[in-house]
Amino acid sequence: MDIRKIKKLIELVEESGIAELEISEGEESVRISRAT
């Protein structure tokens, strides 16, 4: 997964207020969690 895409996902998590996001793309997966 492209680092620019990961950075954009981090921004979306911060802006949206959701606690956690997990994305799978092919064999790769990324989980972004906010600290509470």
Higher per-residue pLDDT: 35 or 7: 7
Q: How far apart are CA 14 and CA 16, in angstroms?
A: 6
Q: How far apart are CA 32 and CA 16, in angstroms?
A: 13
Q: What is the pLDDT of residue 13?
A: 92
Domain that holds residue 25: 3-33
pLDDT at 11 over 90: yes
Predicted TM-score (pTM) of this structure: 0.74
What total of structural domains would you count in the chain? Answer: 1
* Residue 10: burial class (beta carbons within 10 Å; 0-12, 13-18, 19+): middle
Residue with tokens 């972004």: 32
